[in-house]
Every structure is written in C-alpha cells, then in structure tokens.
Structure 1
Amino acid sequence: MATETPASEAPLRILLPQILPALVAGVGCGLLFLGLSELADQLQHLLWNDLPDALGIGHYSALWIIVMLTATGIAVGLIVWKTPGHAGPDPATEGLGGPPLPLVVVPGLLLAATLALAGGVSLGPESPTIGSAIALTYWVGHRYLPSAPGAFWVSLGIAGTLGALFGTPVAAALVISEALASTPSRGSLWDQLFAPLLAAGAGSMTTQLAASPSFDMGLPPLDTPGYEDLLAALVLAPLAAVFGLLGCYAFPHLHRAFTRLGHPMVILPLGGLLLGLLGALGGHLTLFKGLTETKEIVEEIGTLDSGELAKLTVVKLAALLVAGACGFRGGRVFPAVFVGAAFGLCAQALVPEMNPTVAVSSGVLGVLLATTRQGWVSLFVAAVIAASPPMLALLCLASLPAWLVVTGRPFLQLDEHGNALR
C-alpha cells in the first residue's frame, strides 16, 4: 500500500518527500467527493422537489417513485452502454478500492453514480468515488512522479476518499491496516501508514471545512452501560449478522438472473422498475443512500411500530440487493447502515426495555460485518453512530460472536465469475 523502505536508508529520508503528494492527493479526493455530492444533491432536489411541484404531483407518491426509478435505470443503462469503458467494471465485483481504472472510464462512472444517487437508488457514493479517486491520483502521480510505485498512489486515493467520506482519517487507517495485515511486512506499520494517513487527514479536513459531515444520529447517550445492555448487544449483533447474511446468500443468484438478460438497456431499466416498486412499497425512507433516512427513523423512535420497522428493514435490504446486482454504480456501506439501524430499532420496538443506542449500534455492527466483512470499519461506523464512548467496550465484545456468525461465509461482493467471495 505504500513505498518500500530499504533497511539501509533512514525512514525520514523516505517519508519527507511523501508529504506534498499526500496532501495534494487528500485535498483532491475531498474536492472530488464534495463535487459529486453537491451535484447529486442539486439534481435530487430538482427531480424530487422542483419537478413534482411543477407537475402538481406528490414528491413521494407511489407513481412518481416508480417513474423516477425506472427513468434512472434507463439513463444509467444508456451511460453503461454508450460511454467509453462502460462506466467501469461490474460494481457487484468491486469493494472499497482496487487497481486503477483507465482514465477514460472516470467520466461515465461519475455520471452514472451521480444519477443513481439523485434518482433514489439504494446505493452510496463510496465505491464510485474511491474508484475515480484512485484513477485520477494514479494518473497525476505517474505523470509527475513516475518513480513512485503504483501501490503508493492507490493507497493515497483510497485513504483520501475515505477521509473525505467519513470526515475523519480513522476509517482510512483501519481499512489500510487491514489491507497491510494480509501483505508481507515492509517495515514499521506507521511508516507505511504515514502518507495514507496524511492524505486521509487532508481529505477529511477538506470536507469538514466545506460541509461539516456528521454521522451523529441524535441517539441518547449511554453513560453507564449495565449488564442488560451488554446482553442486548451480544444477542442483537449476531442476529443482525444473520439477517445480513440472508442478503449475502441471495446476492449471487440475483446477480446471475440479471446477467442472463444480457444488455444494460434491459438489465438497468428492469432493475430501476423493481426498485421503484420496492420504493412504492416501503416509502421514501427506503430510497437514496440511507444516511439522512437513518437519522429520520432514529428521530421517530417510539412512533414507528415493529411492523413498520420490519417492512423498512426488509424493503431496504431488497433494494440494496437489486441495485447492487443489476449494475447501478454505487457503494453498499451506507444503505447497509440503514438496514442495520432499522433492524435494531425493530428489535427495540419489540423489547422496549432495550436501550435504543445499544439497539441501533449493535444492528449496524452486525449487518456491516455480514455485508462488508471488514471488522474494523464495521466497529468504527457502529461506534461513531452511537456517539457514546462507553458503547465502544460493548461493541468490541458484541463484534466477537457476530464475527463467529459471518467468518468463512459469503459477503456482499462477487468475483469475476459471479461467485460470492468469502
């Protein structure tokens, strides 16, 4: 992930020249994420507010949801069909990172992701933004510093974008540390993390200064967890992981069903129609990437009953599976957070004595472990959502039985042959 440090050279002589490229890459990744987000937000307001108002249609009427998602499928299908590079590889095979894409692919990938985000597709911005950031960082880096290895630029693109997405460099450090753990040692971990952490810090500061992103859901703080909170977390996180695994087992079958249709102008419009029908069933809370909608259901604790929350959970998971399987460009982390939060709130509605902070964070932890198989990131997101330091101990303990449930089993990513990765 970073440059190799020969034993005969002082690490300082290796690390100091990395500072400027890392800062430039981090700021560039932050600006890329901000630009994509702002464009998608403006287009979303136009499509879901201004246009329905002009037509005298309800913003989230069942008919408008079906029309908008189907139209989004048609538009993204055209992009995948006609643009150079076909808007990148099959997104079902992509995770948080990967080899650099050809630069010609980036415009189509960003345009397809923008339309999906604005059109209500249940995917997040992380995978297309990271893929585009890696491609741009690699191209610029090799142009001006061709002596640096390609893995160095890849690590800066991943780290800078993760820092921008989460508004903190911590998530980037955790992702890259997991990646480094599976590669041969190249010296001190902190020497290898130096440039990526700097890029992540620059990316996070760029978004913090411009947009102040926050994962704070407004959950009540949990100052002194009790035995009942520990028990709830230990039970709920594995149950949420089991629920997430149901989607992981279904994902390759759904992907194969769409792939058999053969052409993006058949696959994506049909996928959009199915997403529209799911959206009409689940309502507006099951649309879009899910972060704002997660805050909404948390704010409505006590007003949504268990049946309504169960419907939101199932519909959102189904929408995530359809969107990921039929080829819409987008990431799966943000909608998985909504699924986990809704699962936790459903459990809390069934057992009102359960603390809602424990319920939501444990549900998010379990679903993310199942769908991403990235332990540190799952733990980080769940802890950030809880926004309560004492919850970290509960979540660390709850992650262990949840990990026993998911380890060795499929997660929400496929190989190039369409088989589930484990």
Structure 2
Amino acid sequence: MTSTDQGLPAPTVRTMVLLSIPAVVIGVVSGLALWLIETIAGWVEDGVWTALPKALGIDPSSGWWIFAVLTVTGIAVGLTVWLVPGHAGPDSATTELVSTPMRPAIVPSLALAAILGLAGGVSLGPENPIIAINASILVALVGRLWKAVPAQLVVLMAASGTIGALFGTPVAAALVFTGIVAAIRGGGSLWDKLFLPLVAAAAGSLTMTFLAHPQFLIPMPAYTTITGWNVLAAIIIAVAATAFGLVGVYLFPLVHRAFHALRHPLLFTLAGGIVLGVLGAIGGPITLFKGLTQMGQLIENRDDYTVAQIGIILLVKLAALLVAAGSGFRGGRIFPAVFIGAAVGVFAWALVPGIPLQVAVASGVMGLTLAVARDGWIAIFIGVAVTGNLLILPILCLAVLPTWLMVTKAPEMLIKPPALTPTSPRAADGAGR
C-alpha cells in the first residue's frame, strides 16, 4: 500500500498537540483539492455526456457515442502525457496508493489527465492521482510554513486526509494506515502514531462531507438475522469474487505490456481509448466511469437485469479496468473494483435469490477489493459501508480468512518498473517526450 520511507520518531503529547494545527490544515486542503478535481470533472462530464448530446440530438447511451467519447478521451490523455510539462507523472499502474511525493511542477499535468479520465468515462477512480497531488502540494507548502514537520509525516497526513475525504469518514484512513504506521520504526503506541493522520483524516472527511456529501451506502432490503447458511454463502461469494479479481491481477501485466509495446504515450492511450470505447458500447453506460454511482444503479435496478446481462457487465467492467489501468490513463483501481465486487454480489443473488442481498453484495465487494487492494481492513470496511449494517461485520470477518489465504502469495495489481543501472537511461512513461 505504501512506498514511503520508514523512520519517524515516536511522537510526544506536546508534539501531537502542536502538530494538530498543521494536521487540520492538511486535512482541509486535501478535502478541498479532491472536491475541486471532482467538481471540475463533473462539469466536463455533464458537458460531454449530457449537454453536448442534447444539443446535437444524440442519445448519449448509444454505442457509437460511448465509443467516440472514450476514443477522444484516449487521445486527450495521450496528448497530456506526451506534451504537457510534467507528463502526468508516473504511470498509475506502477504506483501504490501512497508513494514518494512528486515535484509540484508535475501536479497540473497529472490533475488534467485525471480530470479527463474521470469525465470521459474511463474505468478508474480518483484515489491514486489525488493522493499524489495532495502529497506533492502539501509537502512543498508545509515545508515552507512548518519546517519542523518531517516530510514523511506530511505525506502520511496528506494521504490520510485524502482517504478520509474519499470515503467520507476518518475510519477508512484509520484502517488503511494501521498497517503502515505499525511498520514505522520508533517507539510509542500504535494510536500515538495514528493520532496526527486521524486528525487530518477527520478534517478531510468533514470538509468533503460539507461540500459534496459522499455516500457509499446503497439502499437494500433490511438484513436483521445472521444464519449459518448466510455465513456459508458469504464465504462462497467472497472466495468467488477474490478468484475473479485475481484473474484480472494475473492478466494485468500482460495487458500493460501489450499496450506499452506501442512505445508512445499518444499511441497506447489512443489504443486504450478505442478498446474502452468498444467495451463501453458492449456493456453500456453502467460499465463506464469509476463506478460508485453505477453501483447504486445496478443494485437498485437489479430486477431489470438477467443473469446473463449481469455476467456481461462483470466481464466488461473487469476488462475495462485492466485496459484503463494498463494503457496509461491516470487513476486508481479501488473504486472500479468495488463496482465489480457489487456486481459479483448481484450476480450471486440473481442465481440464488434466497441469499440476502446485503450479504451477497458486501461479500462480493470485500472479496474483489481484497484481490485488487491487498488490504483486508479496507476490504472489510467498504463491504460494511455499502450496506451500512454492522451485522455484516462479523460475517465478513469470517469470510475474509479464506480470501486472505488466496491473495497472500498472489502478485499485486501493480507494475514494478525494472531496476535502473547507472548506465541505463531513466525510464519514462512512453517514448517521444
């Protein structure tokens, strides 16, 4: 989950109190930056998918329009990666959720690439780019205003504030960073180390809640009684979702290698846009974008889909995630994974309607998220968050056990660039820059 350096000293009570002020500022700025990028992307999305088709008398859900928009999006992102100073930073396929901060000069091009992808319907989320953007900006800003704050701590607080804003609650950041801060050298308890990231996460989540009211909870039929059969169903669905996700994980390097064989960023993002356009035309609008809104639509309108149609949606969305992440678009993989996991749950419910929908969806989300994110805490959290039902929590705590055994030795959904030798040129994200 992180490639940050490890070596923070144990914080004292005085240090935690004094640093709470920059932590709040970092959290607020993180939330504002996320809101700004998603707002701009929303404006562009409305123009491309609503206003323009309406003005032209075109059905925006038609296959040819989806194909055209995604192809043009591929060209636009490719031109950004190729020509805009900063080249949109490193390929998102090669970066973890929390990584070493970039130079601030890279931020505008990465923000532009992320906005284009989000607005154009690319099957990636905002998490990787916005965390990288916030970390880069805030390390530079805090380095000027509060020189005594270690850069690594700023990165952790920026990432924590952003994750809190993304999920609308500091709990998500607490779970994600439990493993990270536990690995940091130095004395002090786990909660001493979590204190400042949680301050930033709370500030970020409150900022985003006031501005945009993010919501993972999907209305579903009530679930009030745990049974042994429900637990067994949850384990089976979670295992199936994890296995489906791992298929994508194993295919990911092949997809990435195939697109990047084209060598030039304009060529491989254009090719990615064309393939995404074809996939979008096949799967329809519900298989586009990061997937949070579409997840709600799929669950709420589940009776409108046959088992075969849900199966097609699953295959198309997984392929779209692999293509989008593998062809140079900038974005995160967790949000699309959540959609795919929910679709696995709806698929299982359609096959066996006796399974409670909340159990099926939560188990599918947890299993798929675990395969892609490789973090048990965040997988369980999101599985519970989509239902808003704490009765789901003990079920997922059991279902996560066999799924963790499945992923613990499997590869990560991450492309690790080859090591550079002193005589080799520094690898760039494509040629021709």
Indicate if the aligned counterparts of 1:175 and 1:377 stay in contact, CA closer than 8 A: yes
* Alignment partners' CA distance in 1, 2:238 and 2:185: 32
CA-atom RMSD in angstroms: 1.3
Alignment map for 1:72-87 (pairs within 5 Å): 72-87=73-88
Alignment map for 1:37-116 (pairs within 5 Å): 37-116=38-117
For residue 76 of structure 1, what is the amino acid of its counterpart? V
Identity of aligned residues (%): 46
* Alignment partners' CA distance in 1, 2:187 and 2:316: 45
Partner of 1:36: 37
Alignment map for 1:345-356 (pairs within 5 Å): 345-356=346-357
Alignment map for 1:210-221 (pairs within 5 Å): 210-221=211-222
1:31-68 Cα shifts (integer Å, max 9, x gaps): 00110111111110100011111111111111100100
1:241-262 Cα shifts (integer Å, max 9, x gaps): 0000000000001111111100
With normalisation by structure 2, the TM-score equals 0.94
How far the C-alpha of 1:226 sits from its partner, in A, is 1.0
1:226 matched to 2:227? The reply is yes
* Alignment partners' CA distance in 2, 1:141 and 1:67: 43
* Alignment partners' CA distance in 2, 1:75 and 1:149: 37
Partner of 2:245: 244
1:384-416 Cα shifts (integer Å, max 9, x gaps): 112111110001100001111111101211212
* Alignment partners' CA distance in 2, 1:238 and 1:182: 28
* Alignment partners' CA distance in 2, 1:255 and 1:160: 30
1:104-154 Cα shifts (integer Å, max 9, x gaps): 000000011001000000001111100000001100111122222211110
Partner of 1:324: 325
With normalisation by structure 1, the TM-score equals 0.96
How far the C-alpha of 1:3 sits from its partner, in A, is 4.5
Alignment map for 1:18-417 (pairs within 5 Å): 18-417=19-418
How far the C-alpha of 1:343 sits from its partner, in A, is 1.0
For residue 20 of structure 2, what is the amino acid of its counterpart? I
* Alignment partners' CA distance in 2, 1:390 and 1:352: 20
1:344-394 Cα shifts (integer Å, max 9, x gaps): 111111111111111111001111111110111111000111211111000
* Alignment partners' CA distance in 1, 2:7 and 2:14: 15
Partner of 1:5: 10
* Alignment partners' CA distance in 2, 1:79 and 1:211: 28
| Structure 2, unpaired ranges of 5+ | 1-5, 420-433
* Alignment partners' CA distance in 2, 1:301 and 1:265: 38
How far the C-alpha of 1:187 sits from its partner, in A, is 1.3
How far the C-alpha of 1:2 sits from its partner, in A, is 8.5
* Alignment partners' CA distance in 2, 1:5 and 1:182: 12
* Alignment partners' CA distance in 1, 2:408 and 2:95: 20
* Alignment partners' CA distance in 2, 1:183 and 1:27: 25
- Tell me whether 39-48 or 11-20 shows the greater mean CA deviation: 11-20
| Structure 1, unpaired ranges of 5+ | none
